[in-house]
Structure 1
């Protein structure tokens, strides 16, 4: 099984920097025997402030192109490792392989782990987007709260991967937010962002006051493995009816004439 993990944090620095190394350690540890995972970022000038919709739009174009190439290269699933999941819905319409996102996978796994969950994020601008995603998943009744830390990103998280004091400050703030979540009824805690998830994993934080802290990249990889195995066993995974249905017939011909023969691979 071959999975393509599309990171966004990796692209803000070197693909071999501390964040990239830490993320790869988490992902490789999560992979089952026989699962091969490629971790890649976007172009260096992308993924700067993905909470802004215009910038997300620009990132989405590159993500969809990478998804098309991944399917062409024989990958079995495409993973969008970002809490806002740019390109997930576009790629489910475009591709014939499973497409999984960090937020959806984390929340669905959290709902298996407990009756309620909270999301803990690092930027007030994130909150409306996170709430929008939860509503779209139809699990608002399971959401206990969305809490916000006060760290600046991404610099603090990069520093926390090499500096013990900076890491301790991230852990302190997360723990305070986690306790607020627990008081509001959360049974599972979801760090809302790959960088935060990675720092907490490096610090060995997997629970707060007996409440599990969900590791998002791990959940994403295991969900992707499940999706690929379901497709291998049944021949189908992503529904191509209605929401993710590709164009067909004369319309598809016209679209390919306009946009290129590579779009909607396998559609007829």
Structure 2
């Protein structure tokens, strides 16, 4: 067997899912809804940031947290993971981390919008609160995925309150999804907050109403894209272009790249494993 395909003999795949919030509060919820969906041989480790600010719904705070996401991504690569998932639909630091890492890096919104068409021709996004709506609209334009998006709306919850009543969040997401589909003609809905989606999927395990609605779970889509890209990488088929958009600093100035990586790795990694 050639070295190019040597990994095929080992079906085990390790994925790192980072909750980019400075709290472990959401780790168990994400684990509950994702672990049953994994392929045989795939292991998923949930990590969170151990930094402040905890809330990344505001641009200044998110900008600070993005540095710690890059640090956590570099740590995940050093720890031997096959792919790194940034568990927030803002896709914070996605481009920067993808530029830095050799392993695949996945953002839930990018993955979900790219995969929406098999679920329905026209889609809508139901996010968490009013602050996120324009942010996701901007993301759609960057990704070139806005043409078939009929609306971006919200359920009116901030992330730090969701864990206190996941059933209420799920019900609000269900009602908001039905409403936007009826009003806009959207055929499917991306529940475009990872925590809102996790609340919805947890409730859907026992609620047939939720099971019948065409929704896209960005947590699941991100994990499935990570599995596919990691498998492609193992086969030598993940040939990310490094000529322009994702060209690393090392291609321009290796000394500056080394300096950058030193800055991002000298401090202890903010990525913290979730407790079982």
Scaled by the length of structure 1, what TM-score is found?
A: 0.85
2:65 aligned with 1:59:
yes
Match of 2:233 in 1: 231
Match of 1:25 in 2: 32
Cα distance in 2, alignment partners of residues 112 and 140 from structure 1: 16
Shift of 1:207: 6.5
Q: Where in structure 1 are there 5+ consecutive unaligned residues?
A: 162-166, 264-268
Q: How do residues 61-100 of structure 1 correspond to structure 2 at under 5 angstroms? A: 61-100=67-106
Cα distance in 1, alignment partners of residues 72 and 208 from structure 2: 32
Cα distance in 1, alignment partners of residues 153 and 263 from structure 2: 46
Cα distance in 2, alignment partners of residues 142 and 114 from structure 1: 10
Shift of 1:154: 2.0
Contact 2:126 / 2:177 at 8 angstroms: preserved in 1? yes
Shift of 1:70: 1.1
Cα distance in 2, alignment partners of residues 209 and 97 from structure 1: 34
Shift of 1:31: 1.3
Q: Quickly say closer, same or farther: Cα 1:112–1:79, change in 2 above 3 A.
A: same
Structure with bigger RCO (C-alpha 8 Å, 6+ apart): 2
Q: Where in structure 2 are there 5+ consecutive unaligned residues?
A: 1-12, 266-276
Match of 2:19 in 1: 7
Contact 1:81 / 1:217 at 8 angstroms: preserved in 2? yes
Shift of 1:110: 1.8
Any idea what the Cα deviations from partners look like across 1:136-159, whole Å, max 9, x if unmatched?
11111110111122334421x112
Contact 2:90 / 2:135 at 8 angstroms: preserved in 1? yes
Match of 1:158 in 2: 163
Contact 2:84 / 2:104 at 8 angstroms: preserved in 1? yes
Contact 1:7 / 1:40 at 8 angstroms: preserved in 2? yes
1:38 is paired with a residue whose SS is strand
How many residue pairs get matched? 250
2:114 is paired with a residue whose SS is helix
Match of 1:266 in 2: none
Cα distance in 1, alignment partners of residues 132 and 231 from structure 2: 33
Any idea what the Cα deviations from partners look like across 1:46-100, whole Å, max 9, x if unmatched?
331x222211111111110111111111111110010111111011111111000
Scaled by the length of structure 2, what TM-score is found?
A: 0.82
